[in-house]
């Protein structure tokens, strides 16, 4: 099924992304005591040729990332990517320690990133749920640390399975206090978008 994305619909998705991520970033600020700000979400069709900024610029840079399957009325995959240096900032703030490298990336460090993803995606979905009345459940995040392109393409391929194209709601969040940038990606199945637009009356 093809969903036409006119300007109004793109704006609506961007606004939903904004409100959802606003909630998610507030939760991260509460958790860390550091103020995070959001970039305006980018809404675009996602395929092999349209990759997020991070992966185009630095495909082989080391990132840590999570992906969580979302089930319910607006199913898809929610993913977070943090360049290694940004993950170091999160570890430093949240557990006052940092892994020295990939070999040192133990379960504690992984669970910190999983927990950040859990809290942020949970708040994102809750905001969407409140706005639309959708029932949404997320599965626990899965963790990877590797080249940006390898992590992202693995997420993308699994999300693309059985579908020709995906929609991507992509945004970055930053903090003026640290050299930090995090990337959030929601990859909803396009077939269910009509349900969302019907609820919003557009």
Task: Specify the residue, 25 or 67, whose C-beta has the smaller distance to another protein.
Answer: 67
Distance CA 120, CA 134 (A): 18
User: What is the C-alpha to C-alpha distance for residues 122 and 68, in angstroms, rounded to an integer?
Assistant: 10
Tokens representing 34 are: 């550091």
Q: Is 153 in the site for another protein (CB under 8 A)?
A: yes
Least distance CB 31 / another protein (angstroms): 22
59-80 as b/e: b if 16+ CB within 10 A: eeebbbbbbbbbeebbebbbbb
- Considering the rule CB under 8 A, would residue 104 count as an interface residue with another protein? no
Secondary structure (DSSP) of 166-186: EEEEEEEEE-TTSS-EEEEEE
Total residues interacting with another protein, rule: CB under 8 A: 34
**Of 22 and 59, which has the nearer Cβ to another protein?**
59
Contacts (CB under 8 A) with another protein, residues 19-78 = 48-49, 55, 59-60, 62, 67, 69
The answer to whether 142 contacts another protein (rule: CB under 8 A) is: yes
* Cβ at position 187, least distance to another protein in Å: 14
Beta carbon nearer to another protein, 36 or 184: 184
Q: According to DSSP H, which parts of the chain are helical?
A: 7-32, 53-57, 84-95, 107-132, 148-160, 193-200
- For another protein, the closer CB: 97 or 157: 157
Question: C-beta of 23: minimal distance to another protein in Å?
Answer: 24
User: Among residue numbers 105 through 134, which ones bind another protein (CB under 8 A)?
Assistant: none
Cβ atoms of residues 41 and 171 within 8 Å: yes
**C-alpha 164: how far from chain center:** 21
Please give the structure tokens belonging to residue 129: 């749920």
Q: Which is nearer to another protein, 12 or 67 (CB)?
A: 67
CB atoms within 10 A of CB 82: 24
The DSSP output letter for 24 is: H
Write out the residues near another protein by the rule CB under 8 A: 48-49, 55, 59-60, 62, 67, 69, 102-103, 139-140, 142-158, 160-164
């Amino acid at each position: 099924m093809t969903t036409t994305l006119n300007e109004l619909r793109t704006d609506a998705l961007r606004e939903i992304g904004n409100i959802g991520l606003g909630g998610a970033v507030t939760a991260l600020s509460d958790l860390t005591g550091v103020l995070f700000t959001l970039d305006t979400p980018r809404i675009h069709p996602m395929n092999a040729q349209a990759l997020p900024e991070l992966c185009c610029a630095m495909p082989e840079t080391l990132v840590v990332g999570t992906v969580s399957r979302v089930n319910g009325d607006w199913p898809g995959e929610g993913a977070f990517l943090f360049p290694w240096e940004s993950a170091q900032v999160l570890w430093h703030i949240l557990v006052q320690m940092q892994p020295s490298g990939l070999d040192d990336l133990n379960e504690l460090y992984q669970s910190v990133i999983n927990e950040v993803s859990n809290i942020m995606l949970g708040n994102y979905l809750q905001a969407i749920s409140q706005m639309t009345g959708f029932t949404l459940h997320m599965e626990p995040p899965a963790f990877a640390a590797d080249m940006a392109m390898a992590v992202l393409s693995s997420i993308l391929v699994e999300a693309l399975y059985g579908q020709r194209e995906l929609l991507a709601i992509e945004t970055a969040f930053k903090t003026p206090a640290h050299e930090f940038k995090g990337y959030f990606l929601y990859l909803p199945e396009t077939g269910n978008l009509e349900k969302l637009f019907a609820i919003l009356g557009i």
